[in-house]
């Protein structure tokens, strides 16, 4: 297990909060992290205030195509929200602490719930491109310790962190049903990347019981839950893993399928935000 503790002392977080508060008057209750090809989901926000993450103290830069590097604050369905465009991946060279800085920032800003989206490869053969999968469990296969100092610490001998809010997930699945949007549930395997997997790896992951594979989300979810933020995870299956069923697999295919499911995901996320807004504080 490789451990990389926070490279930023807490003052960076305090400065980041001050930076945001000086520019944004809304107080987001709900955060949404947008995965590859899903950045446009923030377009529906009313009265948007956009901050470039490069200007925020302590916030590292995203280097990946399809990831914009912005925080979009605004209102949706009467709820103050913040969308994170441009997640940071460990494979970009960021420490886990840096890659999860956005989550600590959102928690420090008062966010109570976090919807995490991603693009993932489908390992189950019936998880065809375009399938939406609720993440109900995960396999951490990136061999990184995730600093989670409070409730779900990964210190030796402690329970493995299970950040997924299954009650919220079940309510979310009902909402999708009512909207006529098909969804599935499954186990997400977090791999470091950045290359896609070999066919042999995917056979192994299938044997482990993984339903989908991707390069993000798990650290964000664990850190959020550790900070008492409720977590809902949803994967957009953009391809059969390792191109099984395809000859080639590249990032442009991942982005294209992300765009195609955008309309369904947009309706779903809007409804999920509305439901979140009905909860008492
Ligand atoms: N593997 C890993 N990450 C991914 C994939 C994949 O096949 N598709 C989208 N993100």
Which of 67, 94, 138, 240 is catalytic? The answer is 67
Report how far residue 190's alpha carbon sits from residue 195's, in angstroms, rounded to the nearest whole number.
Answer: 13
Q: Which helix (H) or strand (E) holds 19?
A: helix 10-23
E strands within the chain? 30-34, 46-52, 70-76, 79-85, 113-122, 132-140, 184-190, 212-214, 230-240
Query: What's the pLDDT at 35?
Result: 86
Q: Hey, what are 103's tokens?
A: 């989550």
Query: What's the pLDDT at 145?
Result: 83
Give rounded-to-5 percent helix, strand, coil for the chain: 35, 25, 40
Which residue from 34, 119, 192, 234 has its CB within 8 A of the most atoms of ligand 1, so it is best to mutate?
Answer: 119
Total-model pTM:
0.91
Nearest in space to 150 (alpha carbons), one of 140, 136, 163: 163
Report how far residue 281's alpha carbon sits from residue 272's, in angstroms, rounded to the nearest whole number.
Answer: 16
Query: What's the pLDDT at 242?
Result: 86
Query: What is the full per-residue pLDDT of the chain (281 aa) written as tens digits?
Result: 454 545 445 688 999 999 999 999 999 999 999 987 778 888 899 999 999 998 999 898 766 665 579 999 999 999 999 999 988 999 988 999 999 999 999 999 999 999 999 999 999 999 988 999 999 999 999 988 887 766 555 566 667 778 999 999 999 999 999 999 999 999 999 999 899 999 999 999 999 999 999 999 999 999 999 999 999 999 999 899 986 655 566 677 767 776 668 889 999 999 999 999 998 77
Q: Is the four-CA dihedral 244, 250, 256, 257 of positive or negative sign? A: positive
Neighbouring residues of 165: CB distance < 8 A, sequence distance ≥ 6: 230, 231, 232
Query: What's the pLDDT at 136?
Result: 98
CB 80 within 8 A of CB 27: yes
| 196 a catalytic residue | no
Query: What's the pLDDT at 248?
Result: 60
Domains of the chain with CATH codes: 2-277 (3.40.50.1580)
Query: How far, CA to CA in Å, does 280 sit from each of 29, 30, 251, 276?
Result: 11, 13, 41, 9
Ligand 1 site residues, Cβ closer than 6 angstroms: 119-121, 196-197, 213-215, 238-239, 241, 254
Which of 7, 153, 173, 251 is catalytic? The answer is 251
- What one-character DSSP code corresponds to residue 65? T
Measured from the CA of 241, which atom of ligand 1 is nearest?
7
């Amino acid at each position: 297990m490789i451990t990389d503790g926070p490279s930023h002392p807490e003052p960076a977080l305090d400065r980041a909060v001050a930076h945001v508060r000086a520019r944004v008057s809304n107080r987001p209750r709900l955060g949404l992290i947008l995965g590859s090809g899903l950045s446009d989901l923030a377009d529906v926000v009313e009265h948007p205030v956009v901050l470039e993450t490069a200007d925020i103290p302590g916030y590292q830069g995203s280097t990946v195509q399809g990831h914009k590097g912005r925080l979009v604050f605004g209102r949706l369905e009467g709820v103050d929200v913040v969308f994170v465009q441009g997640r940071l991946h460990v494979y970009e060279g960021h420490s886990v602490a840096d890659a999860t800085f956005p989550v600590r920032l959102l928690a420090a800003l008062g966010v109570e719930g976090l919807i995490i989206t991603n693009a993932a490869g489908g390992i189950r053969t019936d998880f065809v491109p375009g399938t939406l999968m609720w993440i109900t469990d995960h396999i951490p296969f990136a061999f990184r310790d995730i600093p989670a100092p409070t409730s779900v610490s990964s210190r030796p001998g402690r329970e493995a962190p299970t950040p997924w809010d299954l009650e919220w997930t079940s309510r979310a699945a009902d909402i999708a049903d009512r909207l006529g949007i098909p969804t599935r549930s499954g186990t997400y395997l977090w791999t470091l990347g950045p290359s896609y997997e070999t066919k042999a790896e995917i056979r192994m992951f299938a044997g482990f019981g993984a339903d989908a594979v991707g390069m993000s989300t798990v650290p964000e979810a664990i850190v959020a839950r550790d900070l008492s933020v409720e977590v809902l995870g949803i994967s957009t299956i953009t391809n059969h893993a390792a191109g099984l069923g395809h000859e080639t697999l590249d990032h442009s295919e991942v982005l294209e399928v992300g765009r195609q499911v955008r309309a369904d995901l947009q309706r779903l996320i809007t409804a999920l935000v509305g439901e979140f807004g009905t909860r008492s504080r």
